[in-house]
Amino acid sequence: MFNSLKAQAPDKILALMGQYRADPRPEKVDLGVGVYKNADGLTPVMRAIKTAEKQLWEAETSKSYTALAGEPAFHAAMAEMVLGADYPADRLACLATVGGTGACRQAFELARMANPDMTVWVSNPTWPNHLSILAFMKQEYKLYRYFDNDARAVAFDTMMEDLQAVKAGDVVLLHGCCHNPTGANLTLEQWGAVADLLEAKGAVPMIDLAYQGFGDGLEDDAAGTRLIASRLPEVMIAASCSKNFGIYRERTGCLMVLSDAASKDVTQGTLAYLNRQNYSFAPDHGARLVTMVLTDATLKADWMAELEEVRNGMLGLREQLAAELRQLSNSDRFDFLARHRGMFSRLGASPEAVEKMRVDNAIYMVGDSRLNIAGLNTKTVPLLARAIIDAGV
């Protein structure tokens, strides 16, 4: 029967990783896959995580199953980090998931169980896996315009125009911060306007928060999410610990669902059911490390300090790249790179220009001209700037 299978299109970003690995040129620069890298091109284990791992190795006496929805201590630590210390525990159901991807998947599943007729509204562009998961689930989705390609900024009026068509019970997927792939984000005022609109429509926001701490800081990056959570009766939040704790392969994420207090227990039970049906228990190791880091003052302070180093490093590279390009282009048309936040920016280059930079300069970015700022260092920034100009961007 397996001869009836059709070849799946390879994931474009993962295919690019393979192409990069096979390139023999020593000066090659990888701006493709969404993983943080330091100036030496490494993705280190964060100090606090390493310490927590040592402590856990000493203290852990059993690897028996934990709770189906994950440990309550993990839920509380994540809720506090994402929603703030005064989060509404009486309305909040939580689920430990297989990374942020698992949280997104379970959120779509939950929403569909609650409302089989819903449509999911997704920003255009978005992280491609959102769309491929929705397509795989045969879940109806619609795109709302998000990015102004000329200004390299959020096309807010257009976005709001498209969201006028949202119906009660639809799910509207928003990136909490550090929009992937564009790097362009809503202002707090715009978050307020989105909250007004969703409230008026009776739609349910789903916030994908995969980069908290990578943009303007842990608190500021959660501001939009907190505003939505304070305004809307029902909210889903898919949080990933992959980037901000640097534990990509541990597959750690958390789905948080706000409902009315009367629905909380059934929602919580449905979340546990979804884990059971899909993979039973979510991985525990990463969730346990995150809980330890967030609940120990010393570990937390060290983690926050390192996260700030990571964030400020990326901001410095953004400033440097924008400055180089200002000089080379004799214009401020690349200043958006310093305004964008997170690991990514969409450069706005044509596929031909992206290909030219790969062929001529061994610079690898995703075909839509998304570049990973963390793939740069102070020495490669001038090379990229030169290549961008030479490719006629």
Tokens of 71: 């440990």
Q: Indicate the residue among 104 and 258 with the shorter CB distance to ligand PMP.
A: 104
**Residues 128-187 contacting ligand PMP, CB under 6 A:** 175, 180
SS3 221: helix
Q: Indicate the residue among 285 and 386 with the shorter CB distance to ligand PMP.
A: 285
The beta-carbon contacts of 88-93 under 8 Å, at least 24 apart in sequence, are 88/229, 88/258, 90/261, 90/264, 91/258, 91/259, 91/260, 91/261, 91/264, 92/256, 92/257, 92/258, 92/264, 93/256, 93/257, 93/259, 93/264, 93/267, 93/268, 93/271
- Which residues share a beta bridge with 372? 344
Q: Which of 77, 166, 206, 210 binds ligand PMP (CB under 6 A)?
A: 210
Closest CA to 161 of 186, 193, 185: 193
Q: Which of 32, 99, 215, 246 binds ligand PMP (CB under 6 A)?
A: 99
191 in catalytic set = no
Q: Which of 87, 121, 127, 334 binds ligand PMP (CB under 6 A)?
A: 127
Least Å distance between CB 175 and ligand PMP?
Answer: 6
**Residues 291-330 contacting ligand PMP, CB under 6 A:** none
4 vs 216: CA distance, rounded Å = 49
**Residues 240-259 contacting ligand PMP, CB under 6 A:** 240, 242, 248, 253
Least Å distance between CB 1 and ligand PMP?
Answer: 31
Least Å distance between CB 257 and ligand PMP?
Answer: 17
Q: Indicate the residue among 46 and 104 with the shorter CB distance to ligand PMP.
A: 104
Closest CA to 215 of 103, 325, 373: 373
Q: How many other C-beta atoms lie within 10 A of the C-beta of residue 138?
A: 7
Sole window of 94-102, 134-142, 162-170, 365-373 interacting with ligand PMP (rule: CB under 6 A):
94-102
Residues that bind ligand PMP in the complex, under the rule CB under 6 A: 34, 99-101, 104, 127, 175, 180, 208, 210, 240, 242, 248, 253
